[in-house]
Amino acid sequence: MQEKKYFIIDAKSKPLGRISTQVAVLLMGKNDPKFAANVVANNIVVVINAKDVFLTGTKELSKRYYHYSGFHGGIKEKSFLELKKNDPREIIIKSVRGMIPRNRLTKDTLKNLKVFVDSNHPFSKENIVAIKEKDE
């Protein structure tokens, strides 16, 4: 069995899409030379400062998240700003869920994603690799 690898990504002052693509690649294990599409990677991705994530342009005002229960009149709608105020972790989780393949491994893959609102997290004792943006 492979050793678990821990990666930390700081979401402070970074657009949502840039963070989500980095997280999705790490969760699927595409950064590993032993990548296999039928296996859940042993990568645990920790995202901190979720409250500071933002969208570019006017998307912060116009972005909507929908949930449909399956019943008549059962559609629920939340705006980006409302979700950011109530639960900013959910924004990153929904974005990453949309970027990984929809198959039997989806639920197990998302279990390796840990999102925290601020910079406090319980993984400080682990051997964590900090992921920086390519521009930096």
pLDDT in tens, 50-63: 999 999 999 999 99
Whether residue 47 lies inside any domain: the answer is yes
Residue 45 falls within a domain, yes or no?
yes
Residues in the chain, total:
136
Secondary structure of residue 24 in the 3-state scheme:
helix
Residue 75 lies in a domain: no
pLDDT for the residue numbered 3: 84
- 66 strand-pairing partners: 77
Position 8 scores a pLDDT of 93
**3-class state of residue 113 by DSSP:** strand
**114 in a structural domain:** yes
Q: Answer yes or no: are the C-beta atoms of 112 and 43 closer than 8 Å.
A: yes
- On whether residue 76 sits in a domain, the answer given is no
> Whole-structure pTM over 0.85, yes or no?
yes
What CATH number did the domain enclosing 44 receive?
Answer: 3.90.1180.10
Asked if the structure places residue 74 within a domain, the reply is no
The parent domain of residue 11 ranges over 5-54+87-131
Do strands 75-79 and 64-68 pair parallel, antiparallel, or not at all (unpaired)?
Answer: antiparallel
Structure tokens at 127: 């051997």
Low-confidence ranges of the chain (pLDDT < 50): 136
Q: Any residues with CB less than 8 A from the CB of 33 and at least 6 apart, and which?
A: none
Domain count, the chain: 1
In-domain check, residue 107: yes
